[in-house]
Amino acid sequence: MIQNFLSIIIKYGSTFLFVLMELVCFYLIISYNQTQTEIWANSSNIISGSFYEKYNNLRSFVNLREENNVLALENARLMRELASVRFEEQEVDSTIAAQFQFIPALVINNSINTLNNRITLNKGLNDGIKKGMGVITQEGIVGIVVYASDHFSTVNSLLNVQTKVSGLIKRTKTLGDLSWRGRNPEIVSMNSVPQYISVELGDSIITSGYSTMFPKGHPVGVVGNFKENPRTGYFDIDVQLAVDLASITQVYVITNTVYDEIEQFEKESLDE
C-alpha cells in the first residue's frame, strides 16, 4: 500500500508540485492585487450565479410538477361542484350528481389525422380508471376510455368514427346522436333531430346524461351549420366542438360510483 503510494508520488510528484505551486501563485495574485481580486469576485459571482440559477430552475420545475398535481386535484373537486350546479339547472336530483367523481390525467399521446384517433393517458387501473368511462376537460367532452392497463389508458376521442355520444340541444331539450364523419377535426355531426324542431345557429349542445359515461349538461359545442335532409326527415347538424382536441394536455376521467350496478342491471334485464 505504502509502496504503491510512493510509486505514485515518484511518478507524478512533479505534476502535483506544479499544480500546487500554481494554486499558491493564483491565491497570492488574487489576495494582493486589487484588480485581480475584483476580476475573481466578478467571475465567481457569475459562475455561482449561473449555478444557483440552474439549481433554482430545477427546484422550481420539480415544485411546479407538484403544484400542478395539487391544482389538478383542486380542479377535479371544482368540476364535481360544477356538475352539481349543472344538474340543478337541469332540475335533476342532486343525489345523481354525487355519483360522479373526476380523476385528473395527463395526455401523453394524441392523434387527429386518422379515422380512428386515440389518446393515451398517464393514468390506468391503479388510479381507478376502467373501460367505458368518459373523458372531459373543463371546456367540453373529449372521448371514451376503451382500454386500461395498470398505469395507462387509451381513449377513443370524439374524432374517432367509432365514438357515439348522446347529445342534447340545450334550448329545446331535444335529443340527438353525435358522431364524427372523419373530415374536419373541429366539427362533429348531430343526427336524429326531427325537422319540426326549432334549430338555430349558435345553439348550445350538451351531454344528455342518458349514459353512465357523462353527467348531464357538460358542454359539447355549438351549432355551426344545419340543413334539412329530405331523405331521412331529420336535420344534418354540424356541431363546432368546444374543445380543441389537437392541443389538449390535461383531462379528467369521469367515474360513476354506480357504474357496475347499472351495467349489471342492464345485463340482467337483457337476459330475461
Residue 164: φ, ψ to 5°: -125, 130
Give the position of cell 357538460: 218
For the chain, residues with pLDDT lower than 50 are 44-46, 48-49, 52-53, 62
Q: What is the pLDDT of residue 52?
A: 46
124 Cα distance to chain centroid: 13
* Full-model pTM: 0.68
pLDDT at 46: 45
Confidence (pLDDT) at 45: 45
Residue 239: the pLDDT is 97
pLDDT at 9: 62
The H or E element that residue 196 is part of is none
- pLDDT for the residue numbered 219: 93
* Per-residue pLDDT, 58: 56
CATH class of 99-271: mainly beta
* Of residues 191, 224, 219, 193, the one with CA closest to residue 207: 219
CA distance linking residue 120 with residue 108, whole number of Å? 6
Which of 213, 217, 230, 221 is closest to 190 using CA atoms? 221
Report the pLDDT value the prediction gives residue 212, as an integer from 0 to 100: 76
The C-alpha cell 345523481 sits at 96
Phi and psi at residue 90, in whole multiples of 5°? -90, 5
- Identity of the residue numbered 206: I
Strand partners, 119: 110, 155
Which CA distances in Å does 147 have to 52, 237, 245, 261?
44, 30, 19, 20
